[in-house]
């Protein structure tokens, strides 16, 4: 089947070298139905040297230009290039800036992601110092819920399990499970369902991070369905040419086995559902 990859990065993100042209070539080669270019907007001062900020006007003009050049949307090149952003959720005084920035531009799809927790990014590993798994994960999930409620202006909650990617805990404790974190997960899911938003299966989480491949707990997916979630978003979170649509066949089947009939992509901030085959 043909998928929409709702979460990808181009060189408008400082941590990706992929040009929009290369993204189009990769998406066509993978026979994707659509790709949302969701570059980073993270105004975390703790990030220091790298500014995770881009000008959507420039990025979107480039998307229009390349869509035209390639004749995208035609029968021969049936690919939709969607205008997106991955907004890094930030507390306190930054929240207002984030809201204003997101509201200022037109996007097809807005992902809200938690990258910064207590002034640091788990990617840098210092977040886990002095915290056991329960403290590290419950703190992250609680903050994610609070910031989602405060931000509101998004379609997809990005990689809820980001905090498990880089964590140092034993195999028994390392994955986020419904059994252990269900109270936090329920609060997030109820908010998403009641507000017409979805959450994302981010296939980058389930790749090798320093020798460990985090696992997706199927009880989490089943619970989203139980609470009224109709469709999930799937994204590769690729930062290179090689991972567009990565592992979507596998994870769409897992999603289907958990009771879902549909995946979703957003255009003009509206959900479009398509059937999992």
User: Which residues would be at the binding site for Zn ion (CB under 5 A)?
Assistant: 86, 113, 237
Q: DSSP readout, 191-255?
A: HHHHTT-EEEEETTTTS-BTTB-----HHHHHHHHHTT--EEEEE--BSSTT-TTTTHHHHHHHH
What minimum distance in Å lies between the beta carbon of 204 and Zn ion? 8
- Compare residues 158 and 229 and give the one whose CB is closer to Zn ion: 158
- Compare residues 155 and 237 and give the one whose CB is closer to Zn ion: 237
- Compare residues 89 and 136 and give the one whose CB is closer to Zn ion: 89
What minimum distance in Å lies between the beta carbon of 198 and Zn ion? 16
What minimum distance in Å lies between the beta carbon of 189 and Zn ion? 19
What minimum distance in Å lies between the beta carbon of 118 and Zn ion? 17
Distance CA(168)–CA(217), nearest Å, equals: 18
CB 199 within 8 A of CB 189: yes
Q: Name which of 245, 188, 206 is nearest 7 in CA terms.
A: 245
- Compare residues 30 and 115 and give the one whose CB is closer to Zn ion: 115
- Compare residues 22 and 219 and give the one whose CB is closer to Zn ion: 22
Distance CA(247)–CA(173), nearest Å, equals: 25
- Compare residues 38 and 225 and give the one whose CB is closer to Zn ion: 38
- Compare residues 44 and 175 and give the one whose CB is closer to Zn ion: 44
What minimum distance in Å lies between the beta carbon of 58 and Zn ion? 19
What minimum distance in Å lies between the beta carbon of 40 and Zn ion? 7
What minimum distance in Å lies between the beta carbon of 149 and Zn ion? 19
């Amino acid at each position: 089947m043909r998928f929409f990859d709702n979460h990808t990065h181009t060189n408008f993100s400082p941590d990706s070298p992929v040009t929009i042209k290369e993204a189009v070539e990769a998406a066509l080669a993978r026979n994707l139905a659509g790709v949302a270019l969701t570059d980073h907007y993270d105004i975390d001062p703790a990030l220091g040297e790298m500014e995770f900020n881009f000008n959507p006007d420039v990025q979107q003009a480039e998307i229009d230009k390349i869509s035209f050049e390639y004749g995208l949307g035609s029968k021969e090149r049936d690919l939709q290039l969607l205008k997106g952003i991955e907004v890094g959720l930030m507390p306190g005084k930054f929240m207002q800036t984030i809201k204003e920035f997101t509201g200022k531009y037109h996007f097809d799809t807005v992902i809200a992601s938690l990258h910064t927790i207590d002034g640091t990014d788990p990617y840098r590993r210092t977040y886990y110092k002095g915290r056991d798994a329960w403290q590290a994960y419950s703190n992250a999930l609680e903050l994610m819920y609070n910031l989602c409620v405060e931000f509101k202006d998004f379609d997809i909650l990005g990689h809820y399990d980001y905090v498990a990617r880089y964590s140092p805990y034993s195999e028994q404790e390392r994955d986020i499970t419904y059994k252990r974190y269900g109270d936090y997960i329920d609060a997030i899911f109820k908010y998403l369902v009641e507000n017409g938003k979805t959450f994302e299966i981010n296939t980058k989480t389930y790749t090798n991070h320093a020798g460990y491949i985090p696992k997706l707990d199927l009880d989490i997916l089943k619970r989203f369905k139980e609470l009224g979630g109709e469709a999930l978003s799937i994204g590769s979170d690729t930062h290179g040419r090689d991972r567009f649509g990565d592992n979507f066949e596998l994870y769409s089947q897992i999603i289907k086995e958990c009771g879902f009939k549909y995946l979703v992509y957003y255009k003009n901030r509206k959900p479009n559902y398509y059937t999992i085959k």
